[in-house]
Amino acid sequence: MDKNHPNLVQKWRFDYLTLLLLFVLLVSLFTAVSYKGPTLIFASENNSDKQKSDPNQTPADPNERQKTEGKKPHRPLHKHPAFTQRVKERIKMVNRQIRSRDVRDPNTLAAMQIVPRHCFVRPAEQPMAYNDHPLPIGFDQTISQPYIVAFMTEALNLKPDSRVLEIGTGSGYQAAVCAEIAKEVYTIEIVEPLAKSAKKRLKELGYPNVFVKAGDGYFGWPEKAPFDAIIGTAAAGRIPEPLMEQLKPGGRMILPHGREWGLQHLVLITKDEKGKVTKKKVMPVRFVPMTGQVQKPQDKPKKK
């Protein structure tokens, strides 16, 4: 056949090579489409190796780790539209009012940047929500200056597993900031309408780890004690004894101390593992007075 039909043989070889080449091209193309590249495996976060965060970057969602582990998130998922509103104002607030005054805890800075402060003030005050001063919230109460909220939060040295007690819920803003960092926040408000509105607001914003009740904060929340951290947002002439008892060994408490019309200071109280208490004045302040039992005369110890 080769001798008699040389052109036919050449044509057959050419067709064979063409088919072979097409087959190789098809196999290569299929392999390229099917290959998705290497899977990236990210190492777990190492606290000693953290990089500096971009102050203009939206903080990472603290629930991501829990969602990947299949656990129910105990912090907000930030699905409410308010979290995406006025973000630039919050970034400006954090950079100019808080970071510039030496608040350095990254958890505190992130929480202050996340929580929509404008949701915690009345409509008339919303244009001023991110200004550097307290604002009225009704019933002779105020929402604290952003810097003071950040300073007190940082002083508590909160951890992801911390349990916090707050005395004086007010609008619920301080509780929300703490709830972005801590595991649970228990907050008490003596003005019942404020307690109800704060509870509703925190629920609407999606804070499953904040628990609000109306009552006298002087007595704390003994059923939920002890607490890793206690924060007071109203000034008293004396530090309530029940709060001292409910502070966990190794815990920290910060609250304003002083008379309504006199000199007030933020006092940082620490309790070591053996129960020894240390008190330190950290900043002169002006807070609304704590009401209720704390205003009653203190019982004098009976003489033996």
Mean pLDDT score of the chain: 83
- Cα-Cα-Cα-Cα dihedral sign, residues 100, 105, 106, 108: negative
Q: What is d(CA 244, CA 11) in angstroms, rounded to the nearest whole number? A: 99
Q: Is residue 31 part of a domain?
A: no
Q: What is d(CA 64, CA 169) in angstroms, rounded to the nearest whole number? A: 28
Q: Render pLDDT for 212-238 as a digit per residue (tens, 0 to 9).
A: 999 999 999 999 999 999 999 999 889
What is the pLDDT at residue 67? 46
Q: Is residue 117 part of a domain?
A: yes
Q: Is residue 245 part of a domain?
A: yes
What is the pLDDT at residue 195? 98
As to burial, measured by CB atoms within 10 angstroms (0-12 exposed, 13-18 middle, 19+ buried), residue 155 is buried
CATH assignment at residue 113? 3.40.50.150
Catalytic, out of 144, 162, 171, 197: 144
Strand-pairing partners, residue 43, are none
> What's the structural domain count of the chain?
1
Q: Is residue 14 part of a domain?
A: no
Mark whether 144 is an active-site residue: yes
Single-letter amino acid code for the residue at 232: G
Phi first, then psi: give them for residue 64, nearest 5 degrees. Answer: -55, -45
Q: What is d(CA 6, CA 14) in angstroms, rounded to the nearest whole number? A: 12
CB 287 within 8 A of CB 266: no
Q: Is residue 132 part of a domain?
A: yes
What is the pLDDT at residue 71? 57
Q: Is residue 141 part of a domain?
A: yes
Domain of 239 in residue numbering reads as 79-295
SS3 content of the chain, % helix, strand, coil (to 5): 40, 20, 40
DSSP structure string for 81-149? GGGGSSHHHHHHHIIIIIGGGT---HHHHHHHHHS-GGGGS-GGGGGGTTSSS-EEEETTEEEPPHHHH
Q: Is residue 129 part of a domain?
A: yes
What is the pLDDT at residue 75? 75
What is the pLDDT at residue 69? 44
Q: What is d(CA 299, CA 292) in angstroms, rounded to the nearest whole number? A: 15
Confidence of residue 296 (pLDDT cuts 50, 70, 90): confident
Give the predicted TM-score (pTM) of the model.
Answer: 0.76
Picking from 61-70, 156-165, 241-250, 255-264, which range would have the lowest pLDDT averaged per residue? 61-70
Q: Is residue 44 part of a domain?
A: no
Q: What is d(CA 248, CA 191) in angstroms, rounded to the nearest whole number? A: 27
Q: Which contiguous run of DSSP H or E holds residue 215?
A: none
Q: Which of 162, 158, 140, 138 is nearest to 149 (CA)?
A: 158
Q: Render pLDDT for 100-143 as a digit per residue (tens, 0 to 9).
A: 999 999 999 999 999 999 999 999 999 999 999 999 999 999 99
Written as six digits, the tokens of 69 are 């582990």
